[in-house]
């Protein structure tokens, strides 16, 4: 099944009930944090490109959810997408898409990053000077353009006010 854009229609892939059903609000998928939607998107992209088998992923997801339930963890610790991510990590490792050691190393590096790691973080292998100056230039150009538009609109409104009072 594909949508009008030729992409796989994910509606038939996702369970609507049972342990593998993703969280929904009013029928719409919900994500509590940006990483959840990214993990969701990665799994769908890997499936769409034929890198993973969806049923294999689904079964691992159900197993991860079962493991969490069997652990007796407090319900405050529940995260559907944490189970989703663990299932995805297991599958890409099992299928040889990513070596288990490489995956563990990358997860550790990402987990060690501070929550506010943003653009100021320089802990990876490329220089940000060009990105930062381009972003600054784009931002400055937008600010200058906006100021010019605001000034012209202000002048236009003053001119309109003076002609309407002159009559």
Residue 82 burial (C-beta neighbours within 10 Å; 0-12, 13-18, 19+): middle
Q: What are phi and psi of 141, to 5 degrees?
A: -65, -40
Q: What are phi and psi of 96, to 5 degrees?
A: 80, 15
Residue 83: strand, helix, or coil: helix
Q: What is the pTM of this model?
A: 0.57
In a domain, 117, yes or no: no
Least Cα distance to 35 among 73, 79, 97, 95 occurs for: 79
Residues 65 and 16 in one domain: yes
Mean pLDDT by 10 residues, the chain (167 residues): 47 71 86 92 93 94 93 84 94 90 82 67 53 47 46 45 44
Residues 148 and 105 in one domain: no
- The CATH number of whichever domain residue 79 belongs to comes to 1.10.472
pLDDT at 92 (0 to 100): 94
pLDDT at 43 (0 to 100): 93
Q: Which domain holds residue 144?
A: 127-167
């Amino acid at each position: 099944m594909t949508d009008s854009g030729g992409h796989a229609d994910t509606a038939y892939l996702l369970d609507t009930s049972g342990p593998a059903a993703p969280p929904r609000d009013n029928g719409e998928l919900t994500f509590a944090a940006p990483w959840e939607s990214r993990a969701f998107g990665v799994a769908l992209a890997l499936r769409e490109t034929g890198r993973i088998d969806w049923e294999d992923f689904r079964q691992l997801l159900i197993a991860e959810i079962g493991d969490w339930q069997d652990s007796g963890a407090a319900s405050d610790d529940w995260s559907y997408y944490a189970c989703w991510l663990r299932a995805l990590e297991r599958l890409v490792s099992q299928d040889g898409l990513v070596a288990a050691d490489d995956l563990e190393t990358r997860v550790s590096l990402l987990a060690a990053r501070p929550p506010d790691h943003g653009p100021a973080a320089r802990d990876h292998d490329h220089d940000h000077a060009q990105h930062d100056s381009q972003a600054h230039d784009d931002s400055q150009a937008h600010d200058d353009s906006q100021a010019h538009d605001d000034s012209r609109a202000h002048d236009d409104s003053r001119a309109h006010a003076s002609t309407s009072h002159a009559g």
